[in-house]
């Protein structure tokens, strides 16, 4: 028997999903394709309705055409069942700064609730630029759109995309504004990395097997590498990225989540609050980086001109919308320590960058070498230590490298790899990360979402680093230029080789 828990589709409450920022990229690239996929597999509640909201003056028909076009041009085939799916989509223009516009929106949503029998259950998804989150949250509150009905009827949830602020102070401010209108159980802070099947699998691997945990500590692990390498550059997102840079874009959220899942203690139960408690404890144990030694623990880079997939590509500063003297980092390597009993002195190397040779996301657990080599007289080289790799992208796999005897009369060792491909015996295709988070919001399950204390702890660790990086003059850590298509700055190569076994 394979133990598993299934979604009880019959138990999904009818609801309306209101997407703010509906004419933007996230809606057409991620949200609508995910919803369309869920619709095709009959995984959405009945009834279910989608309302797009944005400043652009469109009618519902024009909005549907826009979405259809975006999906048609990005997917391999024309979207199946589109006409039927599109019947569930409406559009209401809103002016985010205008209270009257939200009063009108509230009336229209109540009418749609009646027309579609969605029982007043509503999800407000903020897919806008982050600067609009506080504005929209406050407007929703004032228009009465955050209030829930009595007895769990007419629930209201708000979904916030990262970044949750740009430092600790602004994260606290955002939270305060959200909490003026919404209660914590209504707030869902998304990190799409947590919805990746392979990321969820980290906890299963660690805590549903007895053989790894005894080794999962400073006694046996030499170091841990967490890599999220990207081949793409900044693309058309310079406006956002110039304000963000790699540390806010990847480290405050995705990288810290991967770290927490790798380093946290086992919760007593696989339940949202207990899992998030353990993650918070892990974040609280991070050893702060101090100015005096920061350069020993942090390498920052920005891609210059180079090549990608055999084509010449522009450097970051030549990308459209980027300042010619921009100091925004597009690469970072951070060596940090989880200062607790389990991990004392074990370095965690976190590496992420844009315009690296290829896209690859993985976690490397490097075990210590054997304490004593009885084969030392026969072998010229040292014995390569065991390595467990959790591949997240492109290979969704777990591999374990160990030593065996080379067949034949001579005694020599060779490293071999045992691997498990995540989908090798799964009949069902993996659920898209956005489809998974949307289903969880519909079910009100917080497991895969950030809790506010986690956000604050992540910022508490990162804000002093950002302050150093963004300070002027001699204090700022050096920003190294690396050629697009390379594995980052020269200064990071020693660590990169260690992690990637290059
Ligand atoms: C997003 C970042 O959160 O994650 C992007 O804003 C990055 O800059 C992306 O490219 C990476 O996600 P994935 O799922 O493609 O690894």
DSSP collapsed to 3 states, 401-443: EEEEECCCCCCCEEEEEEEEECCCCCCCCCCCHHHHHHHHHHH
In terms of pLDDT, which residue wins out, 67 or 428?
Answer: 67
Mean per-residue pLDDT for 256-261?
97
- What SS3 class is residue 264? coil
Q: How far apart are CA 287 and CA 344, in angstroms?
A: 10
Query: 268-291 b/e with 16+ CB inside 10 Å = b?
Result: eeeebeebbbbbbbbbebbeebee
Residue 9's pLDDT band, with cuts at 50, 70 and 90, is low
Residue 5's pLDDT band, with cuts at 50, 70 and 90, is low
The DSSP bridge partners found for residue 126 are 20, 160
Atom 8 in ligand 1: residue holding the nearest Cα = 249
Cα separations in angstroms, 73 against 79, 236, 277, 286, 491: 10, 17, 43, 44, 41
Centroid of ligand 1 to alpha carbon of 228 (angstroms): 9
Q: Answer whether 361 contacts ligand 1 (Cβ < 6 A).
A: yes
Atom 13 in ligand 1: residue holding the nearest Cα = 193
Q: Answer whether 319 contacts ligand 1 (Cβ < 6 A).
A: no
Q: How far apart are CA 294 and CA 212, in angstroms?
A: 33
Residue 3's pLDDT band, with cuts at 50, 70 and 90, is low
Atom 12 in ligand 1: residue holding the nearest Cα = 193
DSSP designation for 266: P
Phi then psi for 227, rounded to 5 degrees?
-120, 130
Residue 57 clears pLDDT 80, i.e. is over it: yes
Out of 49, 254, 297, 446, which one is annotated catalytic?
254
Mean per-residue pLDDT for 194-214?
93
Confidence at residue 1, expressed as pLDDT on a 0 to 100 scale: 45
Q: Answer whether 191 contacts ligand 1 (Cβ < 6 A).
A: no
160 neighbors 189 (Cβ within 8 angstroms) = yes
Mean per-residue pLDDT for 292-300?
92
In terms of pLDDT, which residue wins out, 361 or 395?
Answer: 361
Q: Is 49 a catalytic residue?
A: no
Confidence at residue 72, expressed as pLDDT on a 0 to 100 scale: 84
Q: How far apart are CA 297 and CA 465, in angstroms?
A: 11
117 neighbors 9 (Cβ within 8 angstroms) = no
Q: Answer whether 230 contacts ligand 1 (Cβ < 6 A).
A: yes
The verdict on whether omega for the bond into residue 163 sits within 30 degrees of 0, i.e. cis, is yes
DSSP designation for 292: G
Residue 212 clears pLDDT 90, i.e. is over it: yes
Centroid of ligand 1 to alpha carbon of 259 (angstroms): 16
Query: Over the chain, what is the mean pLDDT?
Result: 92
496 neighbors 490 (Cβ within 8 angstroms) = no
- What SS3 class is residue 3? coil
Name the nearest CA neighbour of 162 among 99, 232, 71, 253. 253
């Amino acid at each position: 028997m394979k133990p598993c828990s299934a979604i009880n589709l019959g138990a999904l409450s009818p609801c309306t999903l209101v997407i703010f920022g509906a004419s933007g990229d996230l809606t057409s690239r991620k949200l609508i394709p995910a919803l369309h996929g869920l619709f095709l597999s009959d995984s959405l509640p009945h009834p279910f309705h989608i309302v797009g909201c944005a400043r652009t003056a469109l009618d519902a028909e024009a909005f549907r055409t826009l979405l259809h076009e975006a999906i048609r041009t990005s997917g391999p085939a024309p979207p199946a069942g589109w006409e039927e799916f599109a019947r569930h989509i409406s559009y209401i223009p809103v002016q985010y700064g205008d209270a009257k516009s939200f009063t009108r929106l509230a009336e229209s949503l109540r009418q749609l609730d009646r027309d579609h029998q969605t029982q007043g259950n509503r999800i407000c998804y903020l897919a806008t630029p982050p600067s609009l989150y506080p504005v929209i949250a406050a407007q929703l509150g004032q228009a009465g759109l955050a209030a829930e009905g009595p007895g769990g009827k007419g629930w209201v949830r708000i979904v916030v995309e990262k970044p949750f602020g740009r430092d600790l102070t602004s994260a606290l401010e955002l939270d305060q504004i959200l909490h003026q209108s919404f209660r914590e159980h209504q707030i869902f802070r998304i990190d799409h990395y947590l919805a990746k099947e392979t990321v969820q699998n980290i906890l299963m691997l660690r805590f549903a097997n007895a053989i790894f945990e005894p080794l999962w500590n400073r006694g046996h692990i030499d170091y841990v590498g967490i890599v999220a390498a990207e081949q793409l550059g900044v693309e058309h997102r310079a406006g956002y990225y110039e304000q963000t840079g790699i540390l806010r874009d990847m480290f405050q959220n995705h990288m810290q989540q991967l770290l927490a899942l790798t380093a946290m203690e086992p919760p007593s139960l696989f339940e949202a609050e207990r899992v998030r408690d353990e993650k918070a404890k892990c974040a609280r144990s991070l050893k702060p980086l101090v100015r005096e030694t920061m350069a020993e623990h942090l390498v920052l880079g920005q891609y210059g001109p180079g090549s990608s997939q055999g084509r010449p590509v522009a450097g970051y500063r030549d990308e459209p919308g980027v300042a010619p003297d921009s100091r925004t980092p597009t690469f970072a390597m951070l060596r940090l320590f989880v200062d607790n009993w389990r991990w004392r002195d074990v370095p965690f190397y976190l590496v992420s960058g844009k315009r690296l040779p290829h896209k690859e996301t993985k976690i490397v657990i490097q075990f210590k070498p054997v304490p004593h080599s009885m084969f030392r007289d026969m072998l010229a080289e040292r014995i390569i230590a065991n390595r467990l790799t959790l591949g997240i992208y492109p290979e969704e796999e777990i591999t374990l490298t160990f030593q065996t005897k080379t067949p034949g009369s001579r005694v020599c060792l060779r490293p071999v790899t045992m691997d498990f491909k995540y989908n090798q015996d799964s009949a069902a295709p993996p659920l898209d990360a956005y489809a998974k988070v949307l289903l969880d919001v519909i079910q009100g399950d917080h497991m895969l979402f950030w809790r506010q204390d986690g956000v604050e702890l992540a910022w508490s660790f990162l804000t002093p680093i950002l302050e150093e990086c963004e300070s002027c003059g001699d204090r700022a850590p050096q920003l190294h230029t690396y050629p697009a298509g390379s594995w980052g700055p020269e200064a990071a190569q020693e660590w990169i080789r260690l992690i990637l076994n290059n």
